Amino acid sequence: MKKTRVDQKFAALKKQGKKGFIAYIGAGDPSLADTVDIVLRLEEAGVDIVELGLPFSDPLADGRVNQDAATRALAAGATFDGVMNCVAKIRERSQIPLIFYAYLNTLYARGFEKAMNEAAAAGIDGFLILDMPREESGPYKKFISAASLNSIMLITPTTPGERMKQIVKDANGFVYCVSREGVTGVRDSIAEGARGLVGKIQKHTKLPVALGFGIGTPQQAAEAASFADAVVVGSAIVNKFHNNPHTPEGRADAAAFVAEMVNAVKAV
């Protein structure tokens, strides 16, 4: 498989001795046109990779903030075709690595192979499919690979060691380490077992390990970056862009908030 923008970004970060910053936003929140603007502002803020949440009515891995973002996107008229067009518009102005954070229903309804090909054609680099267990991924992995997309795999605090070994074998791009049990959302501190979990994963793979779920301040981001290869921040960013005025000034303020966390990660 050819190297994606995600692969190239992590190779560059390793060469620079820097940790990565991955930002999550909901595609289509508050609109698809606004999503293009927000992604470009995230890139200006120093974000390395953007996760785009593919809007879905029942996002079971997400807390209230990201659920609400998906609901707003759907209410604003976001469709699969619309999101693909949004990605294509981003690609006219940026080569920032983009991955879809998605649920299987949306892709299955579209036709999985068709969805992979359309996403790749639009300019997506990979998929993180939240509800696709390894045991059931066989029929789908070949289509992800054939489209030259990264397949980002999740490992959680409850993943047994033997299963962890198998999961990382199927992954490419990077491994997403869920810092705590439960759903997405800002927390007061990094989960106690997160450092140990990242260490266990790193023993089983040479892929970068990104830590996500619950990180929302520069201090937390820096702490996570001290032991993980990359940090994922979602709900705090979604909240900031949503609560700020949808004006150039409001967007600039939200981007400055993200830049603080990016700078904290890069200083590690």
Our answer to whether residue 162 is catalytic in this structure is no
Q: Answer yes or no: is pLDDT of 189 > 80.
A: no
DSSP-derived 3-state class of residue 237: helix
The CATH number for 211's domain is 3.20.20.70
The structural domain count of the chain equals: 1
Examine residue 167 and state whether it is found in any structural domain, yes or no. Answer: yes
Please list the residues that pair with 267 across neighbouring strands. Answer: none
Q: Which single residue is written with the structure tokens 């700020």?
A: 244
Give how far Cα 54 sits from Cα of 39, 128, 160, Å.
Answer: 14, 10, 29
Asked if the structure places residue 81 within a domain, the reply is yes
Residue 267 lies in a domain: no
**Using H for helix, E for strand and C for coil, what is the string for 18-54?**
CCEEEEEEECCCCCHHHHHHHHHHHHHCCCCEEEEEC
Provide the residue type at 62 as one letter.
D
> Domain of 160?
5-262
Triad 213, 184, 12: Cα angle to 5°: 40
The pLDDT-based confidence of 30 (bands split at 50, 70, 90) is very high
Residue 3 has pLDDT above 60, yes or no: yes
In this predicted structure, what is the pLDDT of residue 144? 97
DSSP state at residue 135: G
Backbone angles phi, psi at 100, to 5 degrees: -95, 130
Dihedral angle over CA of 21, 123, 8, 215, nearest 10: 10
Q: Looking at 10-14, 41-45, 192-196, which range is the least confident one?
A: 192-196
Share of the chain above pLDDT 90, in %: 89
Residue recorded with tokens 């390990």 = 209
Averaged pLDDT for residues 177-190: 69
Question: What confidence score (pLDDT) does residue 41 get?
Answer: 98
- Write down the pLDDT at residue 1: 78
pLDDT band at 142 (very low <50, low <70, confident <90, very high): very high
Catalytic residue among 7, 29, 43, 51: 51
pLDDT tens-digit series, residues 53-66: 999 999 988 889 99
- Is position 268 within any domain? no
Asked if the model's pLDDT at residue 176 lies above 70, the reply is yes
Q: Does the annotation mark 118 as catalytic?
A: no
Residue 138 placed within a domain:
yes
- Identify the pLDDT of residue 181: 64
Catalytic option among 7, 43, 48, 62: 62
Give 106's Cβ-side CA count (13 Å radius). 25
pLDDT by residue (tens digit) across 86-105? 999 999 999 999 999 999 99
Helix (H), strand (E) counts: the chain? 12, 8
**What's the distance, CA 253 to chain centroid?**
22
Contacts of residue 253, defined as CB under 8 A and 6 or more positions apart, other chains included, come to 244
Tell me: pLDDT of 151 over 90.
Answer: yes
When pLDDT is cut at 50, 70 and 90, the band that residue 214 belongs to is confident
- pLDDT tens digits along 231-268: 999 999 999 999 999 999 999 999 999 999 999 999 99
